[in-house]
Amino acid sequence: MSDHPLRVAVLGGPGTYTDAAAGTFFGDSIQIIGKSDFDGIFEAVSTGQVERGIVPIENSLAGSIHRNYDLLLRHDLSIIGETQIHIAHQLIALPGVELADVKKVYSHPQPLAQCEQTLSNLLPEAEQISARDTVSSVKQLIEQNITDGAALASERAAQIYNLNIIKANMQDNSENYTRFVAISPEPVAPPADAKTSIVYSMDNLPGSLFKSLAVFALRDIDLTKIESRPLQGKRWQYFFYIDFLGSMAEERCQNALNHLQEITTFFKVLGSYPRGC
Amino acid sequence: MSDHPLRVAVLGGPGTYTDAAAGTFFGDSIQIIGKSDFDGIFEAVSTGQVERGIVPIENSLAGSIHRNYDLLLRHDLSIIGETQIHIAHQLIALPGVELADVKKVYSHPQPLAQCEQTLSNLLPEAEQISARDTVSSVKQLIEQNITDGAALASERAAQIYNLNIIKANMQDNSENYTRFVAISPEPVAPPADAKTSIVYSMDNLPGSLFKSLAVFALRDIDLTKIESRPLQGKRWQYFFYIDFLGSMAEERCQNALNHLQEITTFFKVLGSYPRGC
């Protein structure tokens, strides 16, 4: 047992949504290590710089965060848990800056997408500038003394940096939740109420997706998510990412996955972990 | 029969990839009407300002263009055809600007995503700024005389605006193809070699996706694409978008879709059209 607190890599630092998810999942007795992008989080866990990482995987409005699906495939890490948090984006600016002054909106591409309609009604002419994370966009306002711009970030980010919220709750839909997964070099022993995440690809044969879903349906295993991502370099072929309710410790799930491997050309278990949402 | 050439709404204007796709699909005897975003293309076709529109729907590297899936759902238009074009992004700058000068990269979010790794190796510190389309980002360089930035756009865009390509073929993977669909207020009579696109949602019951795919598998109907999008306001529920080989004029396809409607809570045919890719 190490004598330092659990080190967890998050996007950005205090005040990002990833930071909030780390607190929800791991509690307060952790050491937060900020990274400038999702690749950096996976790298830090892979190289042992930190014990754990946490990344957003899906938003209830904008859909999947594809970069993290691609990184889960590329790195040899395990999903050890999941959590979801409610997202509310605030339009944040330096003291004295008013809505009419805003010519540029800074944020991570995901919040920009989630506020798309509100932004196009409220600030149709504003330039949208991508930041590495929501808190970086807030810090950028301060460091560059930007008086013709604003950032989209959490209320907590506004508090930490002592800036003004010039327009609250910018998200197009209040039913805005993001699901995060915690990643670790080693898998956890899955509990009874578990979820398992896998990825696979198949030769592009007629009915192949149907056959692959049959291995679950025939065993009454419920799917909670299916996502397809392009297979790089193979035009119009896909990896399928599936979440199902069940644990790798259960015989029926092992049987289903053995059956699946009879028909897949690539197969990987991303993790079997306590069901959190 | 009207006496003016067919009017086709595209993203931006001459030199965008959408413009190139319009030329490939409709030929040269058309009048191109540029729109500033995908919403504007759908609006123009819906209101009768133009007879046709063309939008990207999927890229072989970055995946689906979700905005256009959402817009197909929202508007009462029909897909009447498809085409694909090879994508090569050039880093374009004003005369005299060199790679070392580039602190900002302007483009549409999709090209930025497709050049993600090249950009992070070549210009790790560069700010990425979203433009409405690739050609707008090129025009922005000229209009604002930007000497510390460059745009990602096609070779044709560089030629039209007489700018320099300071780094060619920026895309992370040369197998970069985009599939476009042509949209019209009225459906076409589908030919023998047709593709059909549909969207549906179901109550979130165990095995429901499997059951919905069974209606195709039981009739040997091949799927070419499946995409899930969040159902707005219903946490972790989805619309499924499916393309299958077959025409609405075929009895087995009509039977499959009647069968599908027995188990769906929402169902819509987006179009049945000549197979183009």
Kindly report, residue by residue over A137-162, the tens digit of the pLDDT. 999 999 999 999 999 999 989 999 99
Q: Tell me the pLDDT of chain A (277 aa) as tens digits.
A: 456 899 999 998 889 999 999 999 999 899 999 998 899 999 999 999 999 999 999 988 778 888 899 999 999 999 999 999 999 999 999 999 999 999 999 998 889 988 988 999 999 999 999 888 899 999 999 999 999 999 999 998 999 999 999 999 999 888 889 999 999 999 998 888 999 999 999 987 678 889 999 999 999 999 988 888 888 777 778 899 999 999 999 999 999 999 999 999 999 999 999 999 8
Rounded to whole angstroms, how far apart are CA atoms B129 and A149? 14
Interface test with A, best of B36, B67, B232 (most A CBs within 10 A): B232
Rounded to whole angstroms, how far apart are CA atoms A36 and A68? 14
What is the average pLDDT across B145-154?
97
Size of interface A-B (CB pairs under 8 A): 106
Identity (one letter) of the amino acid at A117?
A: Q
Tabulate helix, strand, coil % of chain B (nearest 5).
30, 35, 35
Tell me which chain B residues have a C-beta less than 8 angstroms from the C-beta of A37: 120
Interface test with A, best of B60, B119, B173, B220 (most A CBs within 10 A): B60
Tell me which chain B residues have a C-beta less than 8 angstroms from the C-beta of A210: 210, 213-214, 216-217, 223
Query: Shortest CB distance from A206 goes to which of B61, B129, B222?
Result: B222
Query: Shortest CB distance from B63 goes to which of A66, A209, A213?
Result: A66
Give the per-residue pLDDT at A2.
Answer: 59
The SS3 of residue B61 is: coil
Chain B nearest CA to A87, separation (Å): 13
Rounded to whole angstroms, how far apart are CA atoms B18 and B39? 14
The SS3 of residue A13 is: coil
What is the average pLDDT across B37-63?
93
Full set of structural domains in chain A with CATH:
6-86+176-184 (3.40.190.10), 90-167 (3.40.190.10), 194-274 (3.30.70.260)
Give the per-residue pLDDT at B40.
Answer: 95
Kindly report, residue by residue over B229-258, the tens digit of the pLDDT. 888 777 778 899 999 999 999 999 999 999
Q: Does A127 touch chain B (CB under 8 A)?
A: yes
Q: Are the CB atoms for A8 and A26 separated by under 8 Å?
A: yes
Assign B135 a pLDDT band (cuts: 50, 70, 90): very high
Q: Does A129 touch chain B (CB under 8 A)?
A: yes
Of A42, A170, A37, A48, the closest CA to residue A99 belongs to A170
Rounded to whole angstroms, how far apart are CA atoms B177 and B173? 10
Other C-beta atoms closer than 10 Å to the C-beta of B50 total 23
Dig out the tokens for A62 from the structure: 């904008």
Model confidence at B1: pLDDT above 70: no
Total residues belonging to chain A? 277
Model confidence at B62: pLDDT above 70: yes
Rg (C-alpha) for chain B, rounded Å, is 20
Tell me which chain B residues have a C-beta less than 8 angstroms from the C-beta of A235: 60, 175, 177
Give the per-residue pLDDT at B2.
Answer: 58
Contacts of residue B194, Cβ cutoff 8 Å, sequence gap at least 6 = B245, B246, B247, B248, B249, B272, B273, B274, B275
Kindly report, residue by residue over B67-126, the tens digit of the pLDDT. 899 999 999 999 999 999 999 999 999 999 999 999 999 998 889 988 988 999 999 999
Query: Shortest CB distance from B60 goes to which of A60, A109, A236?
Result: A236
Rounded to whole angstroms, how far apart are CA atoms A22 and A187? 18
Other C-beta atoms closer than 10 Å to the C-beta of A145 total 7
